[in-house]
């Protein structure tokens, strides 16, 4: 696997924030970050269930992960978080990681109000770049 495509909801401020986080991280594999409602995403991945409703990650080999599994794969791709992906996918922490992702995903609109500031025009959100604290 040389490349992963991360399909995210560009109308969601939390998703945009996560996309920016991923874009700024050193990775073991190339990450393509693609808005799930873009023409390119629909042409390439239009038959993937839950596209635009859940986080979706697709490999260059044709595998597709959705929801919590996609979240863990994003961590696996990052140099600083691969070890955490293994920990969180183990027997002890996997149920907790899955619950965390489900709660985050199902409440992302409410959480966006806390994460902001954002500007949303039409169907896309961008972060208003106030002074930022580095992601850690």
pLDDT tens for each residue of 48-62: 989 988 999 999 999
Alpha-carbon distance of 14 to 3, in angstroms, equals 23
Strand-strand pairing, 3-8 and 124-127? unpaired
Tell me: pLDDT of 66 over 70: yes
- Stretch among 29-38, 50-59, 123-132 having the lowest mean pLDDT: 123-132
Q: Beta partners for 127?
A: 118
DSSP string, 5-73: EEEE-TT-HHHHHHHHHHHTS-BSSEEEEEETTSHHHHHHHTTSTTBTTB-EEEETTS-EEETHHHHHH
Q: Is the pLDDT of residue 113 over 90?
A: no
| CATH (residue range 3-120) | 3.40.30
Tell me: the pLDDT tens digits for 85-94? 999 999 999 9
The residue among 91 and 108 whose pLDDT is bigger is: 91
- On whether the CB atoms of residues 112 and 12 are closer than 8 A, the answer is yes
| CB-based contacts of 86, cutoff 8 Å, min separation 6 | 76
> In this model, does residue 12 exceed pLDDT 90?
no
Q: Mean pLDDT of all residues in the chain?
A: 87
Q: Is the pLDDT of residue 130 over 50?
A: no
* Three-point CA angle 124, 52, 90, nearest 5°: 120
């Amino acid at each position: 696997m040389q490349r992963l495509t991360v399909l995210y909801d560009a109308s969601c401020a939390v998703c945009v924030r996560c996309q920016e986080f991923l874009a700024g991280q050193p990775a073991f594999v190339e990450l393509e970050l693609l808005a799930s409602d873009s023409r390119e995403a629909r042409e390439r991945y239009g038959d993937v269930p839950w596209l635009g409703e859940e986080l979706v990650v697709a490999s260059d080999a044709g595998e597709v992960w959705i929801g919590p599994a996609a979240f863990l794969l994003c961590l696996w791709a990052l140099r600083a978080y691969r070890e955490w992906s293994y920990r969180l996918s183990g027997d002890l922490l996997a149920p907790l990681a899955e619950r965390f992702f489900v709660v985050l995903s199902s409440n992302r609109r409410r959480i966006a109000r806390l994460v902001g500031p954002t500007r949303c025009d039409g169907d896309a959100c961008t972060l208003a770049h106030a002074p930022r604290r580095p992601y850690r």
